[in-house]
């Protein structure tokens, strides 16, 4: 009967939600902002210690310009909203690339907002290849050493990953931190987030036998 | 409407199956051998190009001795059985460790058996930390370079991962090759394998929108 210390959030289905609601694909992302802050407040109440949001990836940046502009704007807005909460916030991603929004550069160093509280990691222009590109050949199989060498080294092992939008895949989400994660998939699209989604995921998680591969 | 080129198999639930059938936990592994060869023959018929079996991991070796002995024996036997088929077989895992069975050392170089055919990878004493320990700091985010530097570099990207035994996690299974994999979970324990399991997974996979993160 355990609570996850660290939850990973894959907020998928924004574009499909937009199409379903008669909008252009790129108009879906804005409707994902309210769910993001709602989820944060729920996790805060529940005492979750760390929360990682999958913003956008280096793969996503290959999409048509109206989409890349829209999801970049939504991520900037999401970080701004979260920085008004009590949280210790870090944006993680390839900030050397022109696809990384300049206005988020100050957030690539972890900052405490309000009274601190939940550790939030927000992935922006994140790529698994970028994450692993900093791993050195240490000639060691020491796990802590490997994790310390990731570009995402400030993000800890994830207990539970929740994905909205029906897909059953990681899509490049933090391959090392997710080696032992439990996956909970929700059919609804992310903009249709309901508090029950999180509660169902946590209820399911409590009945998993967590062995860390043992 | 696509077929996966490469399927990853996580044959979980052998111990729970044994308990359910009134046996000691360690007696379950032997009952996983027949499903393994059955699945292979089905994949051969269906034209699957590459198949990766999760044998045992460096995590698993921390279990009580009767279990580690039993699953090691079962893996040796499975490799022996597969080497009688038409396949190009490679055992992948940390062979520098005393937990790696000596009799499988000759298989750590890929070998063609019969007329060749399916590429089979069999993970034995595999650990994600061992796999990543060979990655060099190339100062590049080139994906091919990263994959070439893995200890499991001879294993390609996995399209579909099927896990038996109800768990929804990777348990350290090939973190890099599985970044874009679709996951199909089966409630039945591995020794209760039925051909329908594979057929259901393939049917489900055909309806997935494969984007490779895009």
pLDDT at position A211: 85
Asked if A130's CB is within 8 angstroms of B214's CB, the reply is no
Q: Residue B125 carries which DSSP code?
A: E
Name the token pair of B142: 């080139």
Q: Which residue of A has its CA nearest to B67?
A: A214
Question: Does the beta-carbon distance from B178 to A183 stay under 8 Å?
Answer: no
Contact A135 B139 (CB under 8 A): no
- Distance from the Cα of B113 to chain A's closest Cα (Å) equals 32
- For position B138, what pLDDT does the model report? 64
Series of mean pLDDT values for 10-residue runs along chain A (214 residues) = 92 98 98 98 98 98 97 98 98 97 98 96 98 82 91 98 98 98 98 98 94 84
Give B19 to chain A, closest Cα distance, Å.
16
Residue B133 and residue A143: Cβ atoms within 8 Å?
no
Bridge partners, residue A52, by sequence: A8, A121
Residue of A nearest to B207 (CA): A167
- Enumerate residue ranges in chain B where pLDDT < 70: 1, 137-138
Q: Which of B133, B140, B149 is opposite residue A141, by nearest beta carbon?
A: B133
Cβ distance A62 to B214 less than 8 Å, yes or no, reads yes
3-state secondary structure of B22: coil
Q: What is the pLDDT of residue B213?
A: 85
Q: Which residue of chain A has the CA closest to B169?
A: A182
Mutate to test the interface with A, among B13, B135, B162 (most CBs of A within 10 A): B135
Residue A43: exposed, middle, or buried by beta-carbon count in 10 A (0-12, 13-18, 19+)? buried
pTM of this prediction? 0.97
Give the whole-angstrom CA distance, residue A168 versus residue A110.
31
Dihedral sign of CA atoms A100, A106, A107, A109 in order = positive
Look up residue B60 and give its two tokens.
């698993």
Residue ranges of domains in chain A = 6-206
Q: Mind telling me how many Å the CA of A194 is from chain B's nearest CA?
A: 22
CATH says B6-206 is which class?
Answer: alpha beta
Per CB-CB distance under 8 Å, the chain A contacts of B153 are: none
Query: Taking CB atoms and an 8 Å cutoff, what residues of chain B touch A57?
Result: 213
State whether A59 and B140 contact (CB < 8 Å). Answer: no
The answer to whether B213 contacts A57, with C-beta atoms less than 8 Å apart, is: yes
């Amino acid at each position: 009967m355990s609570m996850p210390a660290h939850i990973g959030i894959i907020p998928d289905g924004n574009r499909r939600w937009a199409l379903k609601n008669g909008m252009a694909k790129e108009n879906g992302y804005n409707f994902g902002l309210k769910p993001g802050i709602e989820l944060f407040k729920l996790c805060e109440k529940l005492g979750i210690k760390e929360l990682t949001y999958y913003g956008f990836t280096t793969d996503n940046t290959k999409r048509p310009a109206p989409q890349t502009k829209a999801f970049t704007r939504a991520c900037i807005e999401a970080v701004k909203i979260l920085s008004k909460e009590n949280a210790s916030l870090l944006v993680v991603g390839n900030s050397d690339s022109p696809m990384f929004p300049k206005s988020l550069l100050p957030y690539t160093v972890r900052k405490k907002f309000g009274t601190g509280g939940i550790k939030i990691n927000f992935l922006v222009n994140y790529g698994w290849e970028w994450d692993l590109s900093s791993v050195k050949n240490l000639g060691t199989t020491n796990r802590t050493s490997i994790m310390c060498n990731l570009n995402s080294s400030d993000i800890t092992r994830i207990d539970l990953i929740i994905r909205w939008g029906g897909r059953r895949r990681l899509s490049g989400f933090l391959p090392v931190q997710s080696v032992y994660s439990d996956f909970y998939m929700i059919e609804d699209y992310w903009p249709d987030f309901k508090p029950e989604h999180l509660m169902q995921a946590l209820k399911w998680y409590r009945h998993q036998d967590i062995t860390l591969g043992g």
